[in-house]
Structure 1
């Protein structure tokens, strides 16, 4: 389980195709590097497992299966790509953001990017897959590339986001461009409500 509050950024330094997917090596810097092999870690919002970690060099390795590559933008990573990183939440700390599973539901495409308010704030419109748009409401929560964000508006099959300087400085959102694909995880509470209603009021 995660919170959607990105801890740090990482850079892809190795991409190695293997028989069942792709093996990645990420270089980063943790304030308190406590991850170990087998730990869950959010890579652009996708929950992956650390398969190797070198504390001295702050390097870690993870493996993405073909299914994970199909459902997420990990397949679009190149050498030098910047990714958002978050370790699994620990008990005893304040819970910011919202409940994030790291289970990517699909990919959205950025259709518009606009800088507003004297270059301090950026507005984005993102096209959402038709089978997911039903989970979005104004002022609701969404996870984009592992970032917990608030939906400002919903029109047709697109959502509007406003990113503040703090978010742009601490995440890879500062690199987002029009037509780029981003990972989408809808609010788990919306899924529970939908399931409850479907069982309570079957068609």
Structure 2
């Protein structure tokens, strides 16, 4: 489980086609690096398993299957690009974002971007798949490329985000230009509620 509070960014060092997927090697700089083989790490919001590591995890590899490549933007990553990273949460840490499973529900597309409030804040509108838009509500939570964010507005197939400079600095959101494909995970609570209501009224 994750919180959507990005710890750091990682640089793609190498991609290699392996069997029916891709193995990625990432270089980063963790605060108190402690990765082990088998650990879960959120890569742009997708939960992946560490397969190799060195320098206590400041360089590590993970394998992505063809199915994960279909459902996420990981298949579009190339060497030199940066991804958002978060290690699985521990029981002792503060819960700063919201419940994030690392199970990407689908991908969205950056529809528009503009600077507001004296060049310090960025406004984004993101195009969302029809199958997911029903889970989005004003002031609700959504995970975009692993970042826990608050939805400002929802209009038809779009939702609005406002990002402060700190979020832009600490994540790869600075690269979210128009047309950029981003991973989306909706609030799992919304899916539980939907399931409960369907079961209740189907009786």
TM-score, reference length from structure 2:
0.98
Q: Aligned ranges for residues 50-61 of structure 1 at < 5 Å?
A: 50-55=50-55, 58-61=58-61
**Alignment partners' CA distance in 1, 2:6 and 2:42:** 9
**Alignment partners' CA distance in 1, 2:198 and 2:136:** 17
Classify the secondary structure of the residue corresponding to 2:131: coil
Classify the secondary structure of the residue corresponding to 1:132: helix
Classify the secondary structure of the residue corresponding to 2:169: helix
Q: Which residue of structure 1 aligns with residue 172 of structure 2? A: 172
| Deviation beyond 4 Å, 4+ runs, structure 1 | none
Q: Which residue of structure 1 aligns with residue 71 of structure 2? A: 71
Compute the displacement of 1:57 (Å).
Answer: 7.5
Compute the displacement of 1:132 (Å).
Answer: 0.5
Q: Aligned ranges for residues 1-203 of structure 1 at < 5 Å?
A: 1-55=1-55, 58-202=58-202
The runs of 5 or more residues in structure 2 that have no matched partner are none
**Alignment partners' CA distance in 2, 1:124 and 1:110:** 7
**Alignment partners' CA distance in 2, 1:36 and 1:65:** 20
Compute the displacement of 1:56 (Å).
Answer: 5.8
**Alignment partners' CA distance in 2, 1:57 and 1:66:** 25
Classify the secondary structure of the residue corresponding to 2:129: coil
TM-score, reference length from structure 1:
0.98
**Alignment partners' CA distance in 1, 2:110 and 2:41:** 25
Cα deviation per residue 1:55-103 (whole Å; 9 max; x = unaligned)? 2682100000000000000001011010000000001111110000000
Contact 2:24 2:62 in 1 (8 A): yes
Aligned residues: 203
Contact 2:73 2:181 in 1 (8 A): yes
Contact 2:35 2:57 in 1 (8 A): no
The runs of 5 or more residues in structure 1 that have no matched partner are none
Q: CA RMSD in A?
A: 1.0
